[in-house]
Amino acid sequence: MMIVYAVLIFCLLIFVHELGHFVSAKAVGIRVNEFALGMGPQLIHFKRGETEYSLRAFPIGGYCKMEGEDEESKDASAFNNKAFPAKALVVVAGSVMNLILAILILSAVLFAVGMPTNTVKELSPDLPAVKAGMLPGDQIVQIEDQVIREWNDIIDAIGNSKEPTLTVVAERDGERLSFEVDVAEAEDGRKIIGITPDYAKSPGKALIYGTQSTVEMGVKMVEIIGQLITGEVSTDNLTGPVGIVYMVGDTAKLGWIYLAQLTALISLNLAIVNMLPFPALDGGRLLFLIIRIFTGKTISDETEGKIHFVGLMLLFGLMIYITFQDVGRFIL
């Protein structure tokens, strides 16, 4: 099942990525010769219109083969004959789709679990809130001078407080009550008063927090990539397909919520890495498009195709190195 889960996740992420290229190419009138999921020998293939659709043997990649993408073509619908905005849209569409998928997955998880509200669900015995007279169902609307609208406001108000006692205002049965609540300290050093929130399902809030979480994870990933480039983080910390399979297996044991979060993380990682300005990656293709605005045909389509091929071979070499590293780490 570990391998099955991993294959399903790989196929989903690759399909979504290539679908972004495919849909955007069709939208701007670029001819797509083949849309493939997987690599290697064809298992299933059929043709609709100008495009051949295929499922290939190894679920380790996929591609959207466009006319004139890596070679010269005189076809008016070829990639190389389209204007810069159309080509740029097609190049970035794959990563955009992976970014959107990460947001949607995290938002779905947050909606399924529910969002913490400013309504008290439970109170911990022997902690300040219950001693002050608060009850389950109380809706906290103010702490000291801070207006409370959501659970994070409560955490901030308590965590940032410098006073040993807080004035907490809550609504109960339509009446506003004021409580003088002492501040306690948890084992990890956090300031608490001994309450847990009630949860509510809100699609709008789930989408907002899902987007915020995706952005925060993306910023962290970019920081780590920068540290890899500067040498602050060792390449020994990189993980490839073998490592991901084991991570998926371990995560699946914890439940579907954790597996969904890992899928979102991998999707976001795919989006960011693909936009790095390296040959064969979407970011490298975008870089060449920008260079060609100033240089014209100085770099031919054939030459660019060869550069991307060299970049692809280097990426394969890196993948082989990481795979051997993962085998030693996770198997041997």
Instruction: Report pLDDT digits (tens) over 275-318.
Output: 999 988 999 999 999 998 888 777 777 788 888 889 989 988 88
**Mean pLDDT of the 149-178 span:** 92
Both 126 and 268 in one domain: the answer is no
Both 14 and 130 in one domain: the answer is no
Range of the domain at 36: 2-113+204-276+294-302
User: Residue 156 sits in a domain of what CATH number?
Assistant: 2.30.42.10
Both 102 and 248 in one domain: the answer is yes
Question: What domain count does the chain have?
Answer: 2
Both 91 and 165 in one domain: the answer is no
Mind listing the pLDDT tens digit for each residue in 53-87? 998 888 777 889 999 887 788 888 998 889 999 99
Both 70 and 125 in one domain: the answer is no
pLDDT at site 57: 84
* Catalytically active residues, by annotation: 18
Mean pLDDT of the chain: 89
What is the SS3 string spanning the chain?
CHHHHHHHHHHHHHHHHHHHHHHHHHHCCCCEEEEEEEEEEEEEEEEECCEEEEEEEEEEEEEEEECCCCCCCCCCCCHHHCCHHHHHHHHHHHHHHHHHHHHHHHHHHHHHHCEEEEEEEEECCCCHHHHCCCCCCCEEEEECCEECCCHHHHHHHHHCCCCCEEEEEEEECCEEEEEEEECEECCCCCEECCEEEEEECCHHHHHHHHHHHHHHHHHHHHHHHHHHHHCCCCHHHCCCHHHHHHHHHHHHCCCHHHHHHHHHHHHHHHHHHHCCCCCCCHHHHHHHHHHHHHHHHHCCHHHHHHHHHHHHHHHHHHHHHHHHHHHHHHHC
Both 208 and 83 in one domain: the answer is yes
Mind listing the pLDDT tens digit for each residue in 196-246? 999 999 899 899 999 999 999 999 999 988 888 888 877 777 787 778 878
Both 191 and 247 in one domain: the answer is no
Both 108 and 230 in one domain: the answer is yes
Both 6 and 108 in one domain: the answer is yes
Q: Is residue 130 part of a domain?
A: yes
